[in-house]
Every structure is written in structure tokens, then in C-alpha cells.
Structure 1
Amino acid sequence: MASYNKVVLLGNVTRTPDVRNLPGSATVVATTGLATNRRYKDKEEVMFIDIVVYGKQAETIGMYVTKGTPLLVEGRLSFRQWEQEGQKRSKHEVIVESFQMMGGRKDRTDFDESMVDKDDLKMPADDSMIRDEDVPF
């Protein structure tokens, strides 16, 4: 029987991503959490999901994503098991295959409006506007 494992989540990053190299490897991995909200009637439910990103995308997450960043992720659900201090542990996490930062420049903490040339934002004077007869169609 065929199977399909696809997860799409939109939420806010819960903690600054932890970026590191896998032991004995040059592969970069970033781990963080995502909070998603579900509203129903007069209640709200928040779910916290651990996400894992590998490779170049992990480097990008580490450079541009901080706590509170709105993030859309697409990936697959994974179940991980390990032993810690003699106790068996396990958890579900999403292995991210692609992501999109959803906030604009105003949401970024490293954006400085002084970096924008205000002259580039000004409208041209009326005499330099394109007239209807100048358009060839």
C-alpha cells in the first residue's frame, strides 16, 4: 500500500534556532519550535511543534529567523527515539523540506529604514508622467 507523509504548518517561531554541524560531518542542522493556534468557539488551542532543517536552508534559518518570526514550513513528520540518563525518550518533529518567512521588512529586527534611499521612493513630477498616448497599445 502506498503512503504519503506531508505536513504544512504556519506559525510563529518559539525560540531562536539552534544551528550546528552534525557530529563528524559538514552537514548543518537547525532546530527550533513553531507555535500554531487554533480558535474554536470562545477558546484557543496552541500547539508547539519541533522543527528540524538541514543544509543550506538551515544556514538561512540561522541567519534570518528569530523568536516570533512568522514561518510557513512544508515537510514530513518524523518520530525520533533516544535514551537519556537511562530513560527511553521519544518525540515527533517535522523535517522541513521548504519554508517561507511570512513577515515583511517591518517585522525584521535587523531592518533599518535609514538603509533605504528616500529619493527612490518619491513619485516623479507630473510633467514626467507617462501619458496614455505614449503607450503603444
Structure 2
Amino acid sequence: MNYINKVMLVGRCGQEPELKYFESGAVKASISIAVRPPYRSEQALWFDLVAWGNQAEVIGNYVRKGTQIAITGEFGFDRWADKNSGTMRQKPVITINAIELLGSPRKEESTSTSAPNETQTVANANF
């Protein structure tokens, strides 16, 4: 039997991206996003995300704290040995396969005088 491991999320970035460059030339971006549940009274859900290669470069160049993004990716775990105790640790993480930039950080949206991005233009078009 085949199993599907696909995650789709829309939320706002909760931190500035953390980029790490490796000697091999690979690049990794780490961010977290807050996803608001359908009922505003509930607390946001937080997810840790990682991206590699071109996706990581896009995140490093265009995503800032507060940027609204949509991602598809795969659920997995980061695993490591605790430096002090040697105990194996793990945390859930989503590896990004595709990312779409949906909006600027909220504080910039209200003060920005630049032209709207393509997603905003399509969303506001009169059809």
C-alpha cells in the first residue's frame, strides 16, 4: 500500500529566516509559521519549516517576519543527540517542497507605497 505524506499550510512567518550555508554549496533556510484556526478565539498553531536549495534562497531573499506564505511540504522529524546528556532528541518539522508568497508583513502593508505584488493584484481584480 502506498502512503501519502503531504502538508499544505497558509500562515504568517513568525521570525526572520535563518539561513545556513554548507561547504558542499547547499543552503538551508529555517522558519516558523503561525496558522490561525478557523475560529479567531483559538490560539494560532506554530509549525517549524525547513527548505533547501532554491526554495531556501527565495525564503532568504523575500520572506520576513510577518510575511504571509502558502507552502506544501512533507512532515518529518529533525533528530539529534543532546550535547549535555547524549540523549536522542527529535522535533517535528515540515520540509518545504513549494512556497508561494501571499502578502507582506502587516506593518508594511499599511505604509507601503510600492506597487502591489501579483497575488494582491489578482485577489483585488474585479471579475
TM-score band w.r.t. shorter chain: 0.7 to 0.9
CA distance in 1, matches of 2:44, 2:55: 26
- Matched to 1:34, the amino acid is I
Q: What is the TM-score with the length of structure 2 in the denominator? A: 0.77
Match for residue 107 of structure 1? 109
Give, in angstroms, the shift of residue 56 of structure 1: 1.4
The one-character-per-residue Cα deviations of 1:45-95 (angstroms, maximum 9, x if unpaired) are 311100001101211110111000001001111122111222321111110
CA distance in 2, matches of 1:104, 1:14: 13
Match for residue 78 of structure 1? 76
Q: Give the 3-state SS of the residue equivalent to 2:65 in structure 1.
A: coil
| Equivalent pair of 2:66/2:104 in contact (CA under 8 Å) | no
- Matched to 2:109, the amino acid is D
In structure 2, the gaps of 5 or more residues are 116-127
| Equivalent pair of 1:39/1:45 in contact (CA under 8 Å) | no
CA distance in 2, matches of 1:54, 1:64: 15
Give, in angstroms, the shift of residue 104 of structure 1: 5.7
Instruction: Answer with 1 or 2: which has the greater Rg.
Output: 1
Match for residue 34 of structure 1? 33
| Equivalent pair of 2:34/2:44 in contact (CA under 8 Å) | yes
Give, in angstroms, the shift of residue 107 of structure 1: 3.1
Q: What is the TM-score with the length of structure 1 in the denominator? A: 0.72
Q: Give the 3-state SS of the residue equivalent to 1:72 in structure 2.
A: strand
- Matched to 2:70, the amino acid is L
- Matched to 2:19, the amino acid is V
- Matched to 2:95, the amino acid is I
In structure 1, the gaps of 5 or more residues are 116-137
Aligned length in residues: 111
Give, in angstroms, the shift of residue 112 of structure 1: 5.4
